[in-house]
């Protein structure tokens, strides 16, 4: 069983790492700025069009050019445009432009006093990683941690083979019981956190996480069709029905729960069938 848990947890982490490796990464802002600056130095086309051709999708550039004239009323006039590119006078405040854009994502600048470029290269999807992937990464790590707590609990619970004549320290049993309790509490906390993450996780990673949990002795609790049990189910809504046979049974599971052995650690969130009115057990409505 220890080997199964280890293989499952490692498999989950490997899957997470593969997805992370395949995830699109943001282009290096400094390199984009240098390429854009070299394009601005050429004179075969308009400056804005040349720079725009060097930008990755979603990137923005401001070019300071000696051809522009300084703006008035506290700003810089735009003397040329292209998709994602604005050309302003080189005497405009480059530092202020960098400061403004840096609040939106990775920013880099290149060039000299009379010709410069500032670029903003937002990460893919507008974030460091897609939210589902982040949830998947954390879910994989949490599932792995649950697996290793299972291994630690088993090791602590196994009787030690003491050498003949060796005496155990006073309080040894008490220390083991305290360690078992602490690990059990940590395991329950991990499972509760995982329950929040799995619904946000891509299916492939959620499957790996649940496989890891199964290897660690944790089962997913889905309650569809079960009679309502207040000790097991957390009711978050009702669904009207005209069939009295299904009243007070679970219509659907909104969020799966988790059981560690026979103990429900995370209660499944469910919707109950009701006779067209809120059920008396309904929670949080």
* DSSP per residue, 199-230: GGS-HHHHHHHHHHHHHTTEEEE--TTPBP-T
Q: Calculate what percentage of the chain has a pLDDT beyond 90.
A: 9
DSSP per position, 132-185: HHHHHHHHHHHHHHHHHHHHHHHHHHSPP-PPTTPPPPTTHHHHHHHHHHHHHH
Q: Between 21 and 232, where is the model more confident?
A: 232
Instruction: Pick the last residue of a domain from 107, 124, 141.
Output: 124
Which three-class secondary structure state does DSSP give residue 80? strand
* Shared domain check, 191 and 67: no
pTM of the model: 0.40
Q: Considering only 25-29, 74-78, 99-103, 274-278, which range has the smallest mean pLDDT?
A: 74-78
Spatial separation of the C-alpha atoms in residues 183 and 191, rounded to whole Å = 12
* Shared domain check, 207 and 148: yes
Residue 89 within a domain: yes
Question: Of 206, 215, 214, which is closest to residue 19 (Cα–Cα)?
Answer: 206
Question: Of 199, 244, 190, 239, which is closest to residue 218 (Cα–Cα)?
Answer: 190
Q: Between 216 and 274, where is the model more confident?
A: 274
For 88, the domain range is: 29-124
Spatial separation of the C-alpha atoms in residues 33 and 118, rounded to whole Å = 6
Q: Considering only 31-35, 192-196, 220-224, which range has the smallest mean pLDDT?
A: 192-196
Q: Determine the pLDDT at residue 113.
A: 80
Q: Residue 246's pLDDT band (boundaries 50, 70, 90)? A: very high
Do 221 and 234 touch, CB atoms closer than 8 A?
A: no
Question: Of 183, 182, 261, 180, which is closest to residue 217 (Cα–Cα)?
Answer: 261
Q: Determine the pLDDT at residue 229.
A: 93
Distance of CA 266 to the CA centre of its chain: 20
What is the count of structural domains for the chain?
A: 3
Q: Determine the pLDDT at residue 47.
A: 81
* Shared domain check, 211 and 75: no
Spatial separation of the C-alpha atoms in residues 67 and 114, rounded to whole Å = 9
Q: Determine the pLDDT at residue 248.
A: 93
Most confident segment among 23-27, 45-49, 145-149, 212-216: 45-49
CATH number of residue 244's parent domain: 2.30.22.10
Q: Determine the pLDDT at residue 279.
A: 47
pLDDT tens digits, residue range 83-96?
Answer: 888 887 777 878 87
Residue 33 within a domain: yes
Residue 198 within a domain: yes
Task: Flag whether pLDDT at 105 surpasses 60.
Answer: yes
Instruction: Pick the last residue of a domain from 92, 124, 156.
Output: 124
* Shared domain check, 147 and 133: yes
Instruction: Pick the last residue of a domain from 71, 93, 124.
Output: 124
Q: Residue 252's pLDDT band (boundaries 50, 70, 90)? A: very high
* Shared domain check, 119 and 36: yes
Categorise residue 26: left if φ over 0, alpha if ψ from -120 to 50, beta otherwise: beta
Spatial separation of the C-alpha atoms in residues 67 and 80, rounded to whole Å = 10
- Maximum CA pair distance of the chain? 93
Do 268 and 253 touch, CB atoms closer than 8 A?
A: yes
Task: Flag whether pLDDT at 130 surpasses 50.
Answer: no
* Shared domain check, 170 and 37: no
* Shared domain check, 193 and 60: no
* Shared domain check, 157 and 198: yes
* Shared domain check, 269 and 251: yes
């Amino acid at each position: 069983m220890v080997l199964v848990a280890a293989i499952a947890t490692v498999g989950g982490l490997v899957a997470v790492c593969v997805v992370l490796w395949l995830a699109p990464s943001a282009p290096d802002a400094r390199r984009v700025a240098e390429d854009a600056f070299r394009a601005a130095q050429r004179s075969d086309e308009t400056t804005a069009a040349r720079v725009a051709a060097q930008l990755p999708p979603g990137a923005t550039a401001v070019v300071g050019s000696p051809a522009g004239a300084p703006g008035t009323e506290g700003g810089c006039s735009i003397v040329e445009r292209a998709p994602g590119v604005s050309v302003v006078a080189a005497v405009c405040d480059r530092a202020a432009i960098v400061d403004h854009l840096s609040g939106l994502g990775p920013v880099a600048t290149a060039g000299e006093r009379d010709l410069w470029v500032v670029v903003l290269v937002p990460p893919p999807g507008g974030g460091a990683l897609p939210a589902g992937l982040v949830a998947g990464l954390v879910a994989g790590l949490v599932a792995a941690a649950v697996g290793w707590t299972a291994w630690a609990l088993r090791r602590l619970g196994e009787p030690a083979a003491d050498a003949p004549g060796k005496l155990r320290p006073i309080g040894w049993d008490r220390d083991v019981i305290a360690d078992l309790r602490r690990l059990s509490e940590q395991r329950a906390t991990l499972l509760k956190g995982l329950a929040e993450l799995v619904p946000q996780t891509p299916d492939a990673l959620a499957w790996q996480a649940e496989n890891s949990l199964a290897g660690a002795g944790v089962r997913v609790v889905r309650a569809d069709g079960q009679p309502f049990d207040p000790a097991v189910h957390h009711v978050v809504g009702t669904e009207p029905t005209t069939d009295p046979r299904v009243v007070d049974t679970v219509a659907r599971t909104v969020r799966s729960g988790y059981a560690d052995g026979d103990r429900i650690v995370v209660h499944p969130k469910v919707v109950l069938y009701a006779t067209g009115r809120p059920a008396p057990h309904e929670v949080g409505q």
